[in-house]
Amino acid sequence: MRICGAAASSAYSTTSSSLLVFGSSSFSTPAKTKFLPSLSRFSVKHSCLFSPTRPHFTVTKPSMNLLNKLGFGSGRSSESMDSTIPQGPDDDIPAPGQQFAQFGAGCFWGVELVFQRVPGVSKTEVGYTQGLLHNPTYEDVCSGTTNHNEVVRVQYDPKQGTFENLLDTFWSKHDPTTPNRQGNDVGTQYRSGIYFYTPEQEKIAKESLEQQEKQLGRKIATEILPAKKFYRAEEYHQQYLEKGGRFGFKQSAAKGCNDPIRCYG
């Protein structure tokens, strides 16, 4: 299935010009500033993909006090600093007859819209996982000190869309060979990751990765790990592009939609 104007084939080229990735830097329109409603004091490089004339966004990373991150002089509770909580399994329960999967592939705005359009997907949420801090904020994750990844948690009906279909979408929509990076988006929160809920998902994901490496002839940096506690991101991040972002330019989340995805602040 061809989604969002990307190549129909899941095979990648070794040249960046033929691969549309989350966070690609090959933009020809003027740069725009990402709008962060509650984060006006700081920002991070955060760009998305898909349109041949897609802009990128550059904002300033916050300076974080490491002692505060360790709990000295901060308002954090002792529970928030307990890394055993975020390192526990995702104990949320999907709807009856549904399954969860988690994917990290760069800026979660574009990643979410891609999966919203996939048949069989009944719900998507963006959030943070695999980190060391309980109840992280977007500011925490952007600091680069918590090891969280920006992910999309996908709820899907396996009778309507298989996990293999989700993996095909995942591989075709980002560059899995760049560690901690998608285009202009650089940092641990942009790493490529598949986070599984069942032994079957783990087996399928690892076999799929091996196939992709053979096709590419290159080492893939994607991590495949058990799904850990999922922290839902702030509400303004949810379905961000479908809702129109800062400027109200709504993009379709209809199943099978092939419209190019434009990412903006």
Is 224 within 8 Å of 216 (Cβ atoms)?
Answer: no
Is 99 within 8 Å of 166 (Cβ atoms)?
Answer: no
Cβ partners under 8 Å of residue 112, min gap 6: 124, 125, 126, 152, 238, 239, 240, 241
Cβ partners under 8 Å of residue 153, min gap 6: 90, 100, 101, 102, 124, 125, 126, 127, 230
Is 12 within 8 Å of 19 (Cβ atoms)?
Answer: yes
**Largest Cα span, the chain:** 52
**Tokens encoding 114:** 């891609």
The answer to whether the Cα torsion of 240, 246, 248, 249 is positive or negative is negative
Instruction: Classify each residue of 26-63 as buried b or exposed e, where b means 16 or more C-beta atoms within 10 Å of its C-beta.
Output: ebeeeebebbbeebeebbbbbbbbbbeebbbbebeebe
Catalytic residue positions, numbered: 107
